[in-house]
Amino acid sequence: MIPETELARFVAARDKIITLGPRERDSIGVQKEKTVHAILKNTIEPEELYQEVPVGGYIADICKENDIYEIQTANWGNLRGKLSAFLPEYHVTCVLPIPHIKWTIWIDPETGELLEKNKGTMRGTWYSAFRELYRIRPFLSDPQLSIRLYLLDMEEYRVKDGYGKNGKRGSHRYDRIPLSIHDILQLDTPSDYAQLIPENLPEEFTARDFQDAVKIHRKSVSFSTILRMLSELGLVEKCGLTQRRAFVWRRL
């Protein structure tokens, strides 16, 4: 269950950011950092005194006493330098927003008019995070590091400036507006990742068994990679091969 205080802070941050005028939005860097980042930053810490704080040659999104929060919507490989600098002295929480239900709103590239609005057919899950977590996997066992995942229902604004008949293929994303928090997952220790291992798995299982158990069938999630990472966290181990040379795993 999401704490009521967290929901209240999210609503206040969302309403504050999306109702700012263009000049005000530019002044606080919202267009540079994008709206999802700005809203989550103000949800976690509304006081601007603790935002964008110089620490160890870097700028921390939030730094308050001995706690740092870094909100990164993608490209988590860019966090490695910050983590190396921050973790010896601070407890760091890396925050990843994951689109849960997404509506795409198309923008006319010439007039700026909002065109059609489409609801996405796929829903984001916690497993979508592993693509980014893989980029910082050497740090995941550090007791000074926590991971916080937000499943957000959101609107995505895209400009119809791509190719093809409808201009959608290869189009670029203008911004994303989070509408509500669907769920939050906090991962503080390696053992916390065990909750991402389905309970209905057999004693010995393959990556395909894992995929079938969580009922996600998409190429964007590599369950072989997920299992390798869970192995590095000390939660599963290889115990054999199938006739088709697929690894067999078991829980620890």
Of 102, 203, 82, give the one whose Cα is nearest residue 142: 82
Give the pLDDT score at 143: 97
Residues 238 and 114 in one domain: no
Domain identity same for 202 and 105: no
Instruction: Identify the domain boundary among 188, 209, 234.
Output: 188
Last residue of a domain, one of 188, 216, 237: 188
Asked if 146 and 237 sit in the same domain, the reply is no
Same domain, 209 and 234: yes
In the predicted structure, residue 219 carries a pLDDT above the cut 80: no
Indicate if 199 and 90 belong to the same structural domain: no
E strand or H helix at 202: none
Are residues 26 and 140 located together in one domain of the fold? yes
What pLDDT does 24 receive?
46
Residue 88 sits in the same domain as residue 144: yes
Tell how many helices (H) and how many strands (E) occur in the chain.
8, 10
Q: Based on the domain organization, do 244 and 137 belong to the same domain?
A: no
Per-residue confidence band for 46, with pLDDT thresholds at 50, 70 and 90: very high
Residue 28: is its pLDDT beyond 50?
A: no
Q: What is the pLDDT of residues 55-67, one digit of tens each?
A: 999 999 999 999 9
Domains of the chain: total = 2
Cβ count near 193 (within 10 Å)? 22
Mean pLDDT, range 42-52, rounded to an integer: 96
DSSP H or E segment with residue 188: none
Tell me, yes or no, whether 22 and 85 share the same domain: yes
> What is the average pLDDT across 97-106?
94
> Residue 94 is part of which domain span?
4-188
Backbone angles phi, psi at 207, to 5 degrees: -60, -35
Q: What's the pTM?
A: 0.90
Q: Given a cut of 70, is residue 177 above it in pLDDT?
A: yes
- Asked whether residue 155 carries a pLDDT value surpassing 70, the answer given is yes
Give yes or no: residues 143 and 240 share one domain.
Answer: no
CATH number of the domain enclosing 230: 1.10.10.10
Say yes or no to pLDDT of 20 above 90: no
Please, what's the b/e burial string for 202-240 (b: 16 or more CB within 10 A of its CB; e: otherwise)? eeebbbebbbbbbebeeeebbbeebbbbbeebebbeeee
